Amino acid sequence: MALLELDDLTKRYGGIVAVDHVTMRIEAGEVRAVIGPNGAGKTSLFHLITGVVKATEGSVRFADQDVSALPAHVRCQRGMSRTFQLTSLFPEMSARENTRLAAQARDAKRWMPLGGGAVFQSAAQRGDAALERLGLTHVAGRPAGLLSHGDQRLLEVAMALAQQPRLLLLDEPTQGLSVEETAQAVEVLSALFASGELTVLLVEHDMEVVFRLAHKITVLHRGSVIADGDPDTVKADEGVQNAYLGGFA
């Protein structure tokens, strides 16, 4: 059974169709990349899946339930955790506090107004584990706003991971990184995905990154899916070559 199913998902802004009848299935344990040129609707698709924006038509099914009508924070509670295209952190809190607050969101007693030592403790445990998996333990005590850009990108992934999500959504995880930083981030991420316990949907610009990380690739062009399959099939696809890859492979 697919973990995430998109059916005829469409988003119109007035006359502009940002996402055009997209149908997609993501199986548990899969690492899927969505690629496409600028303005292809990748980020819009992300917003529709996570509930930041409501679809004009079509449905989003997550873990066998229709979540189309649910607001973003409820979908997150069901097990979707995301990162943002532009780094979004709590800059004055330490890296550890960032992951702790992320993990706390998954605790039934996250709202406790008094006491709550146990809530903090278990959240900190999950947060620290996530920091370690992304190799950030050495900067855990530093304010997030003072970390290097590369570490900030990874910290955002750590925050999502600390929530122990069923579906991890990464919006351009290497956006704005230098060549070396990108190589490092890809190293860390591929080690993370190698375990096979995560289901990942990632939007990415950098083709090298995509072909290193993804098991399957969906190509968007002007809001609709023009190809779908494993990396080699997609690379060989003529339509994709014309629309996007421009002879990359």
| Count of positions (residues) in the chain | 249
221 binds another protein (CB under 8 A): no
User: Residue for token digits 């190799």?
Assistant: 135
Among positions 7, 107, 181, 206, the unique one binding another protein when judged by CB under 8 A: 107
- Report the distance separating Cα 159 and Cα 101, nearest Å: 8
241 in contact with another protein (CB under 8 A): no
What is the nearest approach in angstroms of another protein to the Cβ of residue 8? Answer: 26
d(CA 40, CA 45) in angstroms, rounded, equals 9
Q: At closest approach, how far in Å is the CB of 78 from another protein? A: 9
3-state secondary structure of 83: coil
Taking CB under 8 A as the criterion, the residue among 111, 179, 180, 247 binding another protein is 111
Please tell me whether residue 82 binds another protein under the rule CB under 8 A.
yes
Nearest to 213 by CA among 26, 87, 83, 30: 30
Give yes or no for residue 72 binding another protein (CB under 8 A). Answer: yes
Asked if residue 105 binds another protein (CB under 8 A), the reply is yes
Rule CB under 8 A: say whether 245 interacts with another protein: no
Residue 247 · residue 45 · CB < 8 Å: no
Distance of CA 187 to the CA centre of its chain: 17
> What's the distance, CA 104 to chain centroid?
19
Of 135-164, binders to another protein (CB under 8 A) are 159, 163
Restricting to residues 163-192, which ones interact with another protein according to CB under 8 A?
163
Q: Is 58 in the site for another protein (CB under 8 A)?
A: no
Residue 238's CB is within 10 A of a number of other CB atoms, namely 8
Any idea which residue has 């955002």 for tokens? 156
Gyration radius of the chain over CA positions: 18
Contact stretch for another protein (CB under 8 A) within 60-68, 76-84, 200-208, 229-237: 76-84
122 binds another protein (CB under 8 A): no
Q: Binding residue for another protein (CB under 8 A) from 56, 58, 85, 90?
A: 90
Contact 134, 154 (CB under 8 A): yes
Verify binding: residue 93, another protein, rule CB under 8 A: yes
Interaction of residue 54 with another protein, rule CB under 8 A: no
Our finding on whether 85 is near another protein (CB under 8 A) is: no
Residue of 84, 79, 78 lying closest to 156 (CA atoms)? 84
Which residues are at the interface with another protein (CB under 8 A)? 50, 52, 72-74, 76-77, 81-82, 84, 88-93, 97, 100-102, 104-107, 109-116, 119-120, 123, 159, 163
